[in-house]
Amino acid sequence: MSVLPSSLRPKGVRAALAVIVGLMAGGLIGLRDAQSETIKQRPCDIYAAAHTPCVAAHSTVRSLYAKYAGALYQVKRASDDTAENIGLLADGYANAATQDTFCANTNCIITKIYDQSPQHNDLVIAAGGHYKGPGPGGSDLGAAADALPVTAGGHQVYGVSISPGMGYHNTRTTGVAVKGEPEGMYMVSSATHFNSGCCFDYGNAETSSTDTGAGHMDALNVSRDLEWPNCRGQTGPGVHADLENGIFHWDKRSCNPAAIIAGGPRPFISAWLKNNGQTRFALKWGDAQSGGLRTIYSGALPSGYAPMRQEGAIILGIGGDNSHASAGSFFEGVMTSGFPTDAADNAVQSNILAAGYGTPTGLSGTLMPGSEISLQATTACCAGDYVRNRNGAAVIAPITSGSAVQDRRDATWIVRRGLAGSSCVSFESKSDPGDFLRHQNSALHLQPFDGTALNRSDATFCAQPGKNGKGNSFHALNYPTKYIRHYYGKVYVAGDGDGTNPWDNKALWTDDVSFIVGPPWSP
């Protein structure tokens, strides 16, 4: 729109423009006020206003109270065994740069996740239980602090990536429901990182870390449940209630199809459980990036579980008896005193959506950490092909703007600091947070990062100018003469005629190992 200089405008026009500008300013101020109110409200503020206050609030991503100003979590580095608290930025998201600086040139694990509620029910690495962990004295292992980089609220932050053998608990809590008292809980997790091992739980469990019987647990579970025979054909995870001696989708000892996460891979989900402790419980799930909540079940407790007999411990990533065969992702979760209303749950879901999980990083098409990219082949045969994930295997395939949404997501990668060396890079899947390109037996595939030294090395690649003069080539950190190469549609690490494998031959090698780093296919 063209606007006349003020000296040439008639007085009436100037006055009218002043009114319009004033109205626009008022509207913008009103919008900012509305946004400010949204920012002021966090999940535990919403639950407190609904008279079901939080008695536990855990997150490595953001504050769950508008006025919380403490640390979110603690990391410990391997180089000197010292610990550092990770606090908040001014807008309430984790100051992950503190972790990056503290853990530079060494490895860190998450040793504590602080409870933001006034109850101070902090989670620490589980000390073991009926099932001993692989750590010192039978304890569990801590999650690698850098295993689950994600974007939230426009910031680079970290979630908690649980692999078998890892877990957290607090067996001496304050304020958590016991002996049939009502409670509610939710967690933000992922439907792309899971297994069928017991038990990726968050919630109320036994104080003894042993199985003390039906109803002594009241915890959320996100997993592929194979407990009931009619669930065994399901390939995706579901949202369930672990009530001890049974993972329940409803009041029956069978599979409820509504519990299965529908609609294909969902990188961020919200899972919900509430229990009045006496007669009924409810399960819900939602996409943590868009939409509302879906009710899985709301009705009677299973036979033998009414009333409940909760003991008030809190667990994350394990079962009540320290079963630690699970895998999963955790970003935030709370537990309440009292049975929350559906309206409060819906408002919290809206707050989760506003948190901006998985939004674009703001960087694109470069090898800077945090940049979202595509990797395009340069060989004449395949110039329209890109490295993508296909059912866990790395392949090259044609991708265009008309390709299916999931195909474009599977061809989008996020550049991360090299898991085994900060001068190199690792490639995280945009559609599967915490899954990285890794070579094993020469082939590249997608795998969750479990924190092991071998996994770190296998998922780290060092960039240099493209061998054919185009783009970049990437050699494996632990095999410097072997470079990422596409060969007959699959992707390997390959040497220039230095091996016995077909993909090590010299023909077209310099072209096949050169890739254009370009903009992402999925924003």
Burial of 27 from C-beta contacts in 10 A (0-12 / 13-18 / 19+)? exposed
Q: What residues have CB less than 8 Å from 258, skipping those under 6 apart?
A: 249, 294, 295, 296, 297
pLDDT at 200 over 80: yes
Cβ burial 85-104 (10 Å sphere, 16+ → b, else e): bbebbeebbbbbebbbebbe
Of 100, 140, 242, 321, which residue is the catalytic one?
321
- pLDDT tens figures, 393-450: 999 999 999 999 999 999 999 999 999 998 999 999 999 999 999 999 999 999 999 8
Tell me whether residue 321 is one of the annotated catalytic residues: yes
Of 45, 211, 242, 244, which residue is the catalytic one?
244
- 74 vs 5 pLDDT, higher one: 74
Q: Could you tell me the pTM of the whole model?
A: 0.90
Rounded CA separation 426/311 (Å)? 43
How high is the pLDDT of residue 39? 55
Lowest mean pLDDT: which of 311-315, 390-394, 499-503? 499-503
Domains and CATH numbers, the chain: 41-354 (2.60.120.200), 372-518 (2.80.10.50)
- pLDDT tens figures, 17-62: 333 333 333 333 333 333 344 457 999 999 999 999 999 999 999 9
- 29 vs 278 pLDDT, higher one: 278
